[in-house]
Amino acid sequence: MVGTNPHFCSVHDHAHCVSDALAQAEALCAARGARLTVLRRRVLELVWASHRPRGAYDILEELGEAPGRRAAPLTVYRALEFLVDQGLVHRIESLNRYVGCIEPGASHNGQFLVCDGCGVAFELNDAGIVAAISDCAGTRGFRVVHPTVEVHGLCPACQEKSR
C-alpha cells in the first residue's frame, strides 16, 4: 500500500493534490460559513506545495516574494490557526511544521509517518490506532484529549538510497 501512495511515491500529479485540497477547502468553508480569505487560501496552497511539512517562516518568506505584499509573522500564524481549526491542515508537533490534511471533511486526529531522510510526512487515519490508544489509556484511568501520533523513520525511497 505504501508503495502506491502518492506521498511516498516520486511520480504523481502533485498539482492535482493541490487543486483538490483547495477545492475541498473552499467547499467546506462555504458549508460551515467560515471565511477562506485570499491570504488563508494562499497559505493553504503553500502548505500543500509539497508533501513535506512547512514551517510558518517558510510560508512567510514565500508570501513576501509576491510583489506589493508584505505579511507579518502573526498574520501567517493566524491563517495557520484558522486552517488547523477548520481541519484543513495538521501541525506536526515534533517539527513545529504544518501539512495538509488528506481528509478535511472528517473529524479525526492525525497519525503521521515522517521520513527523516526526505522530510515527507504521510498522514494515516487509522481507527485501530485510535482505539488502541484509547483502550490502553482507559485501562489506566486516563482520558485522551488530543491523540496525535508521529512516527519518524525512512520512506521506501530513502531506504533504497541508504542501501
User: Structural domains in the chain?
Assistant: 2-162 (1.10.10.10)
- Is the per-residue pLDDT at 62 higher than 50? yes
Q: Say what the pLDDT of residue 12 is.
A: 60
- Is the per-residue pLDDT at 63 higher than 50? yes
Instruction: Catalogue the E-assigned strands of 21-153.
Output: 89-92, 97-100, 111-115, 121-124, 149-153
CA–CA gap between residue 64 and residue 28 (Å, rounded): 28
**pLDDT, mean over the chain:** 88
pLDDT tens-digit map of 108-122:
888 999 999 999 999
pLDDT interval class at 155 (50, 70, 90)? very high
Q: Say what the pLDDT of residue 3 is.
A: 36
What's 149's DSSP letter?
Answer: E
| Mean pLDDT within 62-78 | 81
pLDDT interval class at 106 (50, 70, 90)? confident
